[in-house]
Amino acid sequence: MARAVERGEHVPAVLGFVPGIPESPDRYAEVHPDRVKRFPNSVEEFLFNPDGIDESEQSQSKGWRHELEHDAESVFWLFLYWSMVAQPEKGLEETIHSPSWGGLLGDSRDRHAFVRTLSDGALPDHLTHSFYKPLHPLIEDLAAILLIDSHHLKAPDPRKDTFYVTEAFQRLILKFIIENRGKQFMDRPVEKTFRQVERLWGPDGRSVTNSQAADSANRSVDSGTCPVCGSVNFCLFLLLCLRVRLQATDEDVDIADGIVTHNTEMVDVQ
């Protein structure tokens, strides 16, 4: 769930970098010239300082409501979850970094701190299985897009546009697919069982918390639960399709169908 949706209000501002607008892959730019014009590529990033917020201006802004960017954030958490639990077929068994798991399953404050950690590039080695470490730059880039709530940005910055997060995600995911297609980590099938969370001994002498124990039981082999996507390749392709489907107008969806239909050679979907 998106942090703002859980809070029912905008995510608090933090000191952090607002990344530049991602570059559009060539084919994407050809099919979506309107989006390229609306969100022109820019390497410009800036340090956002919450101390510089004009309180009077903030108080006059529109109230909070569920926006498209919040749906995009929910998809980010779903992708991160899959990346953390996926175990490559016939790969060495590795446990999930426990503090990261806590950040993922925590409340909006925990997830906000987790986004900040991820966007800073401080990804722990066992965030994902080592075989899927090439996913880390993508996770970092997506998290950086989410760090500063667009509510705190000033118009006419295109990054304040409610469609921006969706657009940025779509460009980053497509670019990652193009650059990594055919690589081993993209195509290897995943096991039908999840990775387990590393055990940490608590002050009460228990090796896991009650919530971790319940989660482990829910994800056990006996429960029949297994990863939805059979490979990283397929997971990212589904995310790309979902980003397309989250576009708001029928015109956008029709154009998006064209890029998916005419560019399936980019993604080897088994």
pLDDT (average), residues 174-180: 92
Q: Is the model's pLDDT at 39 over the cut of 70?
A: yes
pLDDT tens-digit profile of 189-224? 999 889 999 876 544 444 444 444 445 545 444 444
> Cβ-count burial of 26 within 10 angstroms (0-12 exposed, 13-18 middle, 19+ buried)?
exposed
pLDDT for position 61: 46
For residue 101, pLDDT over 60 is answered with: yes
**247 near 166, Cβ under 8 Å?**
yes
CB 140 within 8 A of CB 121: yes
Please tell me whether the overall predicted TM-score, pTM, comes out greater than 0.85 for this model: no
Q: Residue 59 has what pLDDT?
A: 47
| pLDDT for 263 beyond 70 | no
Please name which of 245, 14, 102 lies closest in space to residue 259, comparing C-alpha atoms: 245
Q: Which two tokens stand for residue 128?
A: 């994902």
232-251 pLDDT, tens digit each: 877 777 677 665 555 543 33
Ramachandran angles phi, psi of 46, nearest 5°: -145, 155
**Predicted pLDDT at 43:** 81
pLDDT class of 262 with cuts at 50, 70, 90: very low
pLDDT tens, position by position, 45-72: 888 878 766 555 554 445 788 888 999 9
Mean pLDDT value of segment 20-48: 89
Whole-angstrom Cα distance, residue 1 to residue 112?
12
Q: Does 167 score more than 50 pLDDT? A: yes
Calculate mean pLDDT across residues 18-23: 92
Average pLDDT, the chain: 79
pLDDT of res. 145: 95
Question: For residues 22 and 245, what is the distance between their CA atoms, to the nearest angstrom?
Answer: 20
The pLDDT of residue 109 is above 90 = yes
The DSSP 8-state label assigned to residue 172 in this structure reads H
Q: What is the pLDDT of residue 53?
A: 65
143 or 209, higher pLDDT = 143
Minimum mean pLDDT range among 11-15, 175-179, 245-249: 245-249
CB 118 within 8 A of CB 16: no
pLDDT, position 205: 44
- The pLDDT confidence band at residue 253, using thresholds 50, 70 and 90, is very low
Strand partners, 28: none
